Each structure stands twice: as structure tokens, then as C-alpha cells.
Amino acid sequence: MDDRLKGLKNSMNNTTFSQLNFSEQHRKGIREKISKSDSSKEEILLAVMQLLVQEKTGYELVNFLRGRGIRKFEDNEGSLYVLLHQLEQDDCLQIGWNELTVKYYQLNNKGKKLLRKTEQQATTKRFTWKGLVEG
């Protein structure tokens, strides 16, 4: 570990975190919550499709999904490419390559129609769930 980080860690242990005590059970629970993806397959598909309204690479998608709190594809980018391949096979994506042989993905008209339908279904589910919880 870099000396600067060791100094910061020691400083924080002596000041900021000196009053905190976590049992091993608490630590395990925190690690599980951080690594666990709470997003359903439908939510992930919706997020991917929303991001693909504009042209993106797979790498860019992983970063944008991380920004939305979806960490399913971190350390497992291959599963994202499986999803993209499925969307491509369903004729929902327009694919392009740049001069460096980087592949870009973007929704085509069929994909945009599917996105609108998926967004409407997600909105309906939220209103239904909200009505059940509040009612």
C-alpha cells in the first residue's frame, strides 16, 4: 500500500473510525450487500436499452451502469456481451465499428419501440406496486 494511504488509514483509525466497532458478522453483511445486485433482469435490460439510445461501446455501458448502481457486469463483462448479442439477434441494435476495430452499439427503430414498451410496463408495475403498498 502506498505510504500516503497508510498514513491516511492510520489517521482515520485514530480519529474518524476510532469509535466504530464492527463484528465479523456485520462486516460480512456489509460485504454481501455491496456485492449483491438488487437489480432485476428487467431493470438491467431497461437500463441497458435506455443507455443505448445513444451509441456506446460495451466498456462505456459497464461504466454507465455502474453509475446507476448496477454492478452485475463488473468482473463479469462477458454477461453484458451475451445480453448485447441477444439484442442484436432480436434485431434491436445497430452495430458499428470504428477504425480501431472497437464495436459500438445503438438501438435501432425496433429497439426504440421495444424500449418504449418496456418503459411503459415498468411504469405500470411501479404504480401497481405503489398502490398495493399504500392502499
Prediction pTM value: 0.63
Instruction: Express each pLDDT in 116-126 by its tens digit.
Output: 998 888 777 66
Residue 43 lies in a domain: yes
Residue 113 lies in a domain: yes
Q: What letters, b where the CB count within 10 A reaches 16 and e where it falls short, cover 53-62?
A: eeebebeebb
State the pLDDT at residue 49: 94
Number of domains in the chain: 1
Query: Is 21 a member of any domain?
Result: no
Residue 114 is part of a domain; what is its CATH number? 1.10.10.10
Name 11's Cβ contacts closer than 8 Å, sequence gap at least 6.
Answer: none
Residues 29-74 pLDDT 10s = 766 765 555 567 888 899 999 999 999 999 999 999 988 888 888 7
- Give, as one character, the DSSP assignment of residue 107: E
In a domain, 6, yes or no: no
Task: State what percent of residues in the chain have pLDDT above 70.
Answer: 73
Domain residue limits at 59: 39-134
